[in-house]
């Protein structure tokens, strides 16, 4: 997924959707730009359509998903039974690259996608190289035996000591195994985007 300059994109979206924009340095820089009025001409109020489009972009960049794939996810969420917003979040959170990040095995979704695509991650003992692979309750995600000593995982113990995994995941730091103990989900209040506005964009 091509993104381009992350600082510029994050400022446009108005949300720190990338790892490098979730730092104190970026926050201070943004505040200085606002105070110094260096952000260019003020945009007028967005239309409802414009607001929904912006929320869709925030969601896409938050999870690192391309436009076509994201549209497929939304359609699947709308067709499934139950709450559409929770359906969409279950699909997005259930991606293997997202699970790897949530559990603390990778510092960002970009890094997680590389880990998966390069064959470092297994699901139930089998190597999986598709970042969008959808996990299921009961799955066991681990680092491939031949990859455990790679420099990529040299500081994993330190990272696992500070990362708090979501309640639907259980991480065993001793053996480096992630267990999917419940349906993938996310607290709506913790999201950087309005998931219902995203769905409204697709159902206009």
Q: Answer yes or no: is pLDDT of 2 > 50.
A: no
Q: Answer yes or no: is pLDDT of 178 > 90.
A: yes
Average pLDDT, integer, range 93-97 = 98
pLDDT of residue 9: 53
pLDDT of residue 136: 97
pLDDT of residue 139: 98
Q: Is 45 helix (H, G, I), strand (E, B) or coil?
A: coil
Distance of alpha carbon 16 from the chain centroid: 12
Q: Answer yes or no: is pLDDT of 7 > 60.
A: no
Model pLDDT for residues 34-93, shown as the tens digit of each residue: 445 444 445 557 799 999 999 999 999 999 999 999 999 999 999 999 999 999 999 999
Between 106 and 41, the more confident residue is 106
Distance of alpha carbon 200 from the chain centroid: 21
Mean pLDDT lowest for which of 38-47, 117-126, 145-154?
Answer: 38-47
The torsion angles phi and psi of 179, rounded to 5 degrees, stand at: -110, 130
Mean pLDDT lowest for which of 28-37, 58-67, 119-128, 129-138?
Answer: 28-37
pTM of the full structure: 0.80
Q: Mean pLDDT score of the chain, rounded to an integer?
A: 86
pLDDT band at residue 20, thresholds of 50, 70 and 90? very low
Q: Which range is most confident: 106-110, 117-121, 184-188?
A: 117-121
Count Cβ neighbours within 10 Å for each residue of 54-82 and write b for 16 or more, e otherwise. bbbbbbbbbbbbeeeebeebbeebeeeee
Q: Answer yes or no: is pLDDT of 198 > 90.
A: yes
Q: What residue ranges define each of the domains in the chain, with the CATH number in brackets?
A: 6-91+190-202 (1.10.1050.10), 96-180 (3.10.290.10)
Please return the burial class of 95, using the count of CB atoms within 10 Å of its CB with bins 0-12, 13-18 and 19+. buried
């Amino acid at each position: 997924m091509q993104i381009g300059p992350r600082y510029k994109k994050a400022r446009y979206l108005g949300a720190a959707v990338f790892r490098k924009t979730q730092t104190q340095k970026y926050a201070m820089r943004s505040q200085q730009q606002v105070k110094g009025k260096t952000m260019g001409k003020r945009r007028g109020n967005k239309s409802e359509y414009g607001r929904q489009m912006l929320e869709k972009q925030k969601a896409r960049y938050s999870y690192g998903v391309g436009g076509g794939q994201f549209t497929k996810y939304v359609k699947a969420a709308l067709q499934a039974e139950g709450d559409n917003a929770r359906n969409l979040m279950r699909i997005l959170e259930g991606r293997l690259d997202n699970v790897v990040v949530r559990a603390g095995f990778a510092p960002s979704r970009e890094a997680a996608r590389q880990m998966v695509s390069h064959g470092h991650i297994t699901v139930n003992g089998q190597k999986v190289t598709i970042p969008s692979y959808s996990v299921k309750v009961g799955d066991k995600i681990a680092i491939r035996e031949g990859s455990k000593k790679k420099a990529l995982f040299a500081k994993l113990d330190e990272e696992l000591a500070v990362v708090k995994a979501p309640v639907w995941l259980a991480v065993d730091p001793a053996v480096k195994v992630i267990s999917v103990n419940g349906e993938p989900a996310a607290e709506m209040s913790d999201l950087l985007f309005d998931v219902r506005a995203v769905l409204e964009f697709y159902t206009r």
